[in-house]
A and B are shown apart, each in its own frame.
Chain A
Amino acid sequence: MKRRSLSLSSMYSTSVDSTVAVPLKYIEFGGAGGGGDDDDDSVQNTPVILMHGLLGSKRNFSSIGTALSRQLKKKRRVFAVDLRNHGDNDASNWKSSMSYGDMADDLLHFLDLNGMEKAVLVAHSMGGKGEVIFNCNIVRLFVCALLQSYVFSSCTSLFFVISREGGWVGCVGYCTCSI
């Protein structure tokens, strides 16, 4: 993966003002250092970051995040973030601009703050568009796939995750009612 210092939002016409990246509130699942037995590995391996959809929050991923931190064959730290203007982000950090470039910038800032060079991104809906921008620009290393199912209800998504680097993971959980 190539890192870029250039601000992503500057590349998009939708950015109305040159916003400063929001320091996103986040949660780490399985305790600091990851859920694995071998903490050294979980710190060394590329972390997983979960991104919610519109009106969602990092809490949407509680079951998935916990399951991931326990079940990943290759132990990784697992995080979920609150995207800008969502979740527990302080009202003092609310921004009038919400372009996908802005969201990608926020995520880049999150990686920088936490000393992460790269990440496996798992994203739903609105978070997914931000992820596409992010990946097209920066991230090289990730293979993950998610599968939606209408088995339980119209608003239920089943999450399957596969990682070429880490091997088969399996169904790690499901969440309901994200937009």
Chain B
Amino acid sequence: VLDIAPVRYDREKDGSWKAVSSIIDALTTLQLENSSKRDLDVALKEKGIEDPALRAFVLTNIEEDRSTHTLHWKIDISSIASQMHVLAGFDLNSDESLQYKGDTFFINGGTSRECFDHIVVPLLSFLMFVTYQKDLSAVLTCQQLRRSFQII
């Protein structure tokens, strides 16, 4: 599992979730009628999505009909937007039977901007047999990683 923990994310507390929510907000306000993908790219930039690669990524979810040259969503953006509070959450009861009972190796990236105690501690509670490693270097060589994994 990468980039997420089984906890509730809060728009006010978690910068990255706030960014994700803002992107969804921006997408729901896009006017697809009489627009080109280029227009939408400009609109998203104006709405504060600075990263061109990120804009290109989200725009892969809008498709152009070749015969009519009209744009439409490939994905159910309205359901996604209305379910953001569900996606932010994680409503699994802290029932011991729902612990993952296999071995787990957890790496906390040394320069990660995601691994805060309020996220990592609940995550670890779901794992019964966990080996935890905080690595200070952002780049692990394959050899170092191989050595790390020999722990498990």
Contacts and interface: CB of A to CB of B under 8 A. Distances in A.
Given A87-B74, A99-B91, A176 B149 contact: no
Interface stretch (A35-43, A105-113, A145-153): A145-153
A148 B112 contact: yes
A123 B4 CA distance: 10
Query: Chain A: interface secondary structure?
Result: loop
Interface of B: 1-4, 6, 20, 23, 51, 53-54, 56-58, 60-61, 74-76, 79-80, 82-83, 86-87, 89-92, 98-105, 107, 109, 111-114, 126, 138-140, 142, 145-146, 149, 152
Contacts of B99: 136
Given A94-B76, A151-B139, A155-B53, A12 B2 contact: no
A25 to B, nearest CB: 11
A132 interface: yes
A154 to B, nearest CB: 8
Contacts of B98: 136-137
Given A55-B57, A85-B79, A143-B152, 18 more contacts: A53-B3, A87-B75, A94-B76, A97-B79, A124-B1, A125-B3, A128-B2, A128-B4, A136-B99, A143-B103, A147-B107, A147-B109, A147-B140, A164-B103, A177-B54, A177-B57, A179-B20, A179-B58
Nearest to A146: B2
A129 B77 CA distance: 19
A157 B87 contact: no
B2 A125 contact: yes
Contacts of A13: 91
A53 B109 CA distance: 20
Contacts of A141: 102
Interface string A161-179: 0101000101100001111
Contact of A98 (B86, B100, B111, B126): B86
A77 interface: no
Given A55-B57, A150-B138, A153-B53, A95 B79 contact: yes
Given A88-B74, A170-B142, A177-B53, A143 B102 contact: yes
B80 A124 contact: no
